[in-house]
Structures are given as structure tokens and as C-alpha cells.
A = this chain, B = another copy of it.
Amino acid sequence: MVCITGWGHTKFGKLDNQSLEDLIIAAGSEPLADAGITGADVDGIWVGHFNAGMVADGFPSSLAMGIDPGLRYKPATRLENACASGSAAVFAARQAILAGEAKVALVIGVEKMTHLSNPDVTAALGHAAYQKDEAGLSFPGVFAQFAQAYFDKYGDHTQALARIAAKNHGNSVNNPLAQLQKPMDEDFCAQVSDRNPMIAAPLKKTDCSLVSDGAAALVLVSDDLVPDMAKAVRLRGVAQVNDIMPMSQRDLLAFEGPRRAIHTAYDRAGITVGDLDVAEVHDCFTIAELLIYEAMGLAAHGHAADLLEGGVVHAGGRLPVNLSGGLKAKGHPVGATGVSMHTLIARQMLGQADAMQHPGAELGLVFNMGGSGVANYASILEPVKA
């Protein structure tokens, strides 16, 4: 098995003075110090980065070597699976450890987006859609199709989506690394206004996650090194499931890729959804978080909104979701997101999530998604030692 023994995380936001390399080095240095190791102890580097033209650095794998001369000559590899590129790096590093070819892995997720205009960011992210049928479709446009399909089948869920936005913004107040650390009123989120325009009906600005710069990093080690480490969180069960690209060939509301990834991870960890204490899930759009509740098995199809009325997924609820503020308020530097989620659940597992902490959390879910349910990564984490 594989454990997380160190983590790092830049603030997410508009970080004008930090290049992609600066972000990699800033985030990547922290988990080494946190785990009490140096570059010489590291057996390989895995970098999650989407890019798609957002920066000129088309070959970022070796940039992390600026952290420490001891990293030179180690294998370094970039992984890309759209907005799940960060988890792709986590999973590849984990397999290198399970293969017996690394004992200690440095994993970094990174993205640099805010220097671009909004249309340019939208165009870059659009490269994660199926180009043959969907070229030119924006990601708000993609998830608007999911939302419209949901509304058509189960009725207007504008208020439920507004509750998700308000919940995640409310949680962000407790996360000093979040891009927007401020609450947001549910009624404001529910209404179209000058400050909350419709982006792609029925999705408004407050239904969309943020454009962000940032990086996050982890040290992973093989279980046999845990006795030497000050702290450890185990990846108890993980699963990756990819679906076909074309939206026209998928049942959008079945959200089959996410459902299969999450349930396979449950099975591998030997748990059910009722065992989970906390989750960080991929709320790239509020409708995605709503569909993920159903994919998790928290609610039957069409019934996810009940969770928001009952407070189940709010701070202090039975299974708080996105205590970090989520992509919605923490920010979504796409290649960093999956790594960020793993750092946040790791902190929850050891009671080290500060003001975000869910008391007594002992089993956590990360669910990170690339495209519209195309690349799906689920991880179940548990504490080993604090």
C-alpha cells in the first residue's frame, strides 16, 4: 500500500508574479520539508498539468528539479487527463511505488491561467471536449447540457445549485489557501443579476468554478517506510475509470464514469458510502456536485437536492462535502486540483485541517474528474499516524 507523508499547497488565485516553474518549486518544496526528506531521498517526480496552450512550458516534468539538486537524474514525468491531471499524477506515482520501482515519490499538480483573457481560458479548457463533435463548445456550455437534462427530467433545480454555491463559499472562509475567502448569499446565487449573469443557461456565474493559478504537492511513500515518517495517511482504495468522449453517445444523467470510479474505490477500500466522514469532490460547476452526490450513492437519481435541505453535506453535517470551499471558491487551477483535493483530505484524516477540520474524520473521499465525467479518479483515504 501507499501513504501520503507530506503535503504542500500554494494559495490559489491570481498569482501574477509566479511563473509555472515558480509555482512548481513553491508547492513542491513543502512536502519534502513536511516529510523530513530531501531531493536525494526522492525516487521520481510526477507532474499533473493540463496546459492546452495556457503557458509556453510544453514539457514541464523536469522543472521540479529546481527544488533541490538532489532531484537531478531522477525520472520525472508529466501526466495529463484534463482537469483530473493532478490525480493522474498521484495515481501514476502510486503505481510506481506498488511496482517496487520507487519508495518515495514527489507529486506536483500545477496550472497557470489568470494571465489569459476569459475567452482565451475558455478556449483552452474547451480543448478538453471532443473536438470532432464539440469543437468550440465551452465547458459552461457542456455542463449546461447536464443541468438542462437534469431540470428537464427532475424539475427546476436552480435553488439547489445556489445552495451548493453558497455552501462552498461559506466553507471557503475557513481555508486561507482559497482564492475567494468570503461567504456568498444563496438568494444572490439563485438570481440572475448584473453581478451574476447567465453564462450558459441554466448556469449562472455563481454556478461556475474559478479561473486560478496555483499548485499543490504530495510526498507518497511505500507502506514499509511509514515507521520512519512523522505522519501518514493511506490511500486505502483507489479507482480510475475513463468513459468515451462524445457526449451524444452517453446518458448524461447516469454519470456512469464517476459512479463506477467511486463505487469501485468503495469496493477496493471495503467500505460503503455510509462509512465516509468527509469528501472533496469536483464541483467544476454546481450541477457537477449535485450529480456527484448521486454518483456517490448519497441520494437516488433526482433526489440529490434533499441532501442540501437536510444539511447532510454542510459543515457539521453527517458527510460534509468540500469543506475547503471546493473548486467553486477555493479555485480551480486545473492541473493542481486533484493534488489539492488529496492534500485536503489527508489533512482531515490527521486532524490537521485547522478551521476546516471535521471533528473525528477517519475516512475521506477524493473525487476528481477530467472533462464531463470522462476521466474519473476516486480515492479513499484513512489515517495511519499523526
Spell out A's residues near B (CB within 8 Å).
Answer: 19, 21, 45, 50-53, 55-59, 61-63, 65-66, 72-82, 88, 91-92, 94-101, 124, 127-129, 131-132, 135, 240-245, 256-257, 260, 370-371, 374-375
**Given known A-B contacts A76-B375, A95-B99, A100-B98, A56 and B243 have beta carbons under 8 A apart:** no
State the copy count for this chain: 2
Q: Which residues of B contact A55 (CB under 8 A)?
A: 131
Q: Which residues of B contact A73 (CB under 8 A)?
A: 241-243, 256-257, 260
CB-CB nearest in chain B for A246: B66
Q: In the complex, are the beta carbons of B79 and A78 less than 8 A apart?
A: yes
CA distance A45 to B92 in the complex (A): 13
Query: Out of B80, B128, B244, which one reaches A80, CB within 8 Å?
Result: B80
- Tell me, rounded to whole Å, the shortest Cβ–Cβ distance linking A203 to chain B: 21
Q: Which residues of B contact A374 (CB under 8 A)?
A: 59, 62
Q: In the complex, are the beta carbons of B62 and A58 less than 8 A apart?
A: no
Q: In the complex, are the beta carbons of B99 and A81 less than 8 A apart?
A: no
Q: Which residues of B contact A53 (CB under 8 A)?
A: 53, 58
Query: Out of B21, B51, B78, which one reaches A81, CB within 8 Å?
Result: B78
Q: Which residues of B contact A257 (CB under 8 A)?
A: 73
Q: In the complex, are the beta carbons of A127 and B59 less than 8 A apart?
A: yes
Query: Out of B76, B77, B132, B245, which one reaches A62, CB within 8 Å?
Result: B245
Q: Which residues of B contact A132 (CB under 8 A)?
A: 19, 21
Q: In the complex, are the beta carbons of B74 and A242 less than 8 A apart?
A: yes
CA distance A370 to B73 in the complex (A): 14
**Given known A-B contacts A78-B81, A131-B56, A132-B21, A242 and B101 have beta carbons under 8 A apart:** no
- Tell me, rounded to whole Å, the shortest Cβ–Cβ distance linking A362 to chain B: 25
